[in-house]
A = this chain, B = another copy of it.
Amino acid sequence: MTKMATCDRLTTLFVLVLLVVSMRAHAQSDPLPTWNDGATKQAIVAFVQQTTTSGSAKFVPPEERVATFDQDGTLWVEQPIYSQVMYCLERVPAVVKAKPELANVEPFKTVMSGNRDAIAKLSKQDLEKILVATLTGMPVDQFNADVSKWLDQAKHPRWKRPYTELTYVPMQDLMKYLRANGYKTYIVTGGGQDFVRVYSQKTYGIPPEQVVGTAGGTSFGYDKSGRPFLTKMPKLLLNDDAAGKPEGIHLVIGRRPAAAFGNSTGDRQMLEYTGAGDGARLMMLVLQDDAQREYAYGPAAGLPATKVGTFTQALHDEAKKNGWFVVSMKNDWKRIFAFDP
């Protein structure tokens, strides 16, 4: 090839590169395609631009770009019952099979009866017994395999789809947008840390080390062949709900988030803790106000409280007072699920 021909090829290459760069810039012009235009979307985009533009008064160094997300009701459907509670209830037959003496002991007897009304009326103490029996006592690896298998089979009663398909696409878009701008996204959930870690990478692109949740102790030991393993113990180390959320954030992350997202009173302290830091902050609460496409519930939506996800009027008032944004699922989101038309 002559020098001139090489030069032409180089020029073509350069033009192509420019074209690709410009196409990418265009694709990025709406970083939140599933969000309707409005104050909420503008606040997100302004926050990201201000905190990532070097020289900006609100610039946040990359290592401090931490965004925390509640899971149930913030990233995916929490009605009519938390998916993890469903897992525990559906694990009861396996537990009773392994320990047949439990078949006639409450609350296992009620769960085994399949009587939905009776199961719905189980007390908090009964539920705790079920959680302990189904979430502890087994090797960590066994638990992970059990959860993984369940997730492949279990279906939400309304949509008849796996729970992992019931994530809110606008929140997925938001997490991707934040990550594309150097933010580390964490899940901070009242749910079980080990439970959520099983699917967090696949479902949200969030690795296990970025999941903070309610955590029990484990116990190190050896199996018969001398191979070491960890057993899940019925010892609560962290109740990652309400005041436990900032405590869990300190324990696992050791940094104050710059942005935090929730949907209930269980997220109040996380948002307060996030807001108490210096510099730019973004706090948001998702309001379930879309009975048609998802659910509508809770006093802040002018509706009765339900067993899960309480968004009280007091929390709504605090959000107003503190400059937190309330995301209306109905008005702010173009689509809710990936399978929505």
Question: What residue in chain B is nearest A63 (Cβ atoms)?
Answer: B207
**CA of A63 to CA of B3 in the docked complex: distance in angstroms?**
44
Minimum distance in angstroms from A183 CB to a CB of chain B: 13
Which residues between 191 and 240 of chain A lie within 8 Å of chain B, taking CB atoms?
193-194, 197, 201, 207-209, 211, 215, 217-220, 227-230, 237-238
Question: Are B219 and A253 in contact, CB atoms less than 8 angstroms apart?
Answer: no
Q: Place the interface of chain A in its size category.
A: 35 or more
Q: Which of A24-32, A72-80, A84-92, A243-251 contacts B (4 or more CB under 8 A)?
A: A243-251
Minimum distance in angstroms from A246 CB to a CB of chain B: 5
Question: Are A228 and B63 in contact, CB atoms less than 8 angstroms apart?
Answer: no
User: Does A6 sit within 8 A of B, measured CB to CB?
Assistant: yes
Contact among B208, B230, B247, B255 with A209 in the assembled complex (CB-CB below 8 Å)? B255
Question: What residue in chain B is nearest A3 (Cβ atoms)?
Answer: B7
Minimum distance in angstroms from A78 CB to a CB of chain B: 23
Provide the residues of chain B in CB contact with A230, threshold 8 Å.
Answer: 246-247, 250, 273
Question: Are B238 and A269 in contact, CB atoms less than 8 angstroms apart?
Answer: no
User: Does A140 sit within 8 A of B, measured CB to CB?
Assistant: yes
A253-B7 contact given A220-B269, A247-B217, CB 8 Å threshold = no
Minimum distance in angstroms from A281 CB to a CB of chain B: 13
Question: Are A219 and B247 in contact, CB atoms less than 8 angstroms apart?
Answer: yes
Which residues between 263 and 313 of chain A lie within 8 Å of chain B, taking CB atoms?
269, 272-273, 276
Minimum distance in angstroms from A267 CB to a CB of chain B: 13
**A159-190 CB contact bits vs B (8 Å, 1 = yes)?**
00000000000000000000000000000000
**CA of A201 to CA of B61 in the docked complex: distance in angstroms?**
14
Question: What residue in chain B is nearest A242 (Cβ atoms)?
Answer: B220
Among A6, A7, A208, A220, residue most surrounded by chain B Cβ atoms (within 10 Å): A220
Provide the residues of chain B in CB contact with A211, threshold 8 Å.
Answer: 254
Q: Which residues on A are within 8 Å of B, measured CB to CB?
A: 3-4, 6-7, 10, 63, 140, 193-194, 197, 201, 207-209, 211, 215, 217-220, 227-230, 237-238, 243-244, 246-247, 250-255, 269, 272-273, 276
4 closest cross-chain pairs (CB), A and B: A208-B254, A7-B7, A220-B243, A228-B272
14 residue pairs A–B, Cβ–Cβ below 8 Å? A4-B4, A209-B252, A209-B254, A209-B255, A215-B251, A218-B246, A220-B243, A220-B247, A228-B269, A230-B246, A230-B250, A230-B273, A237-B238, A251-B252
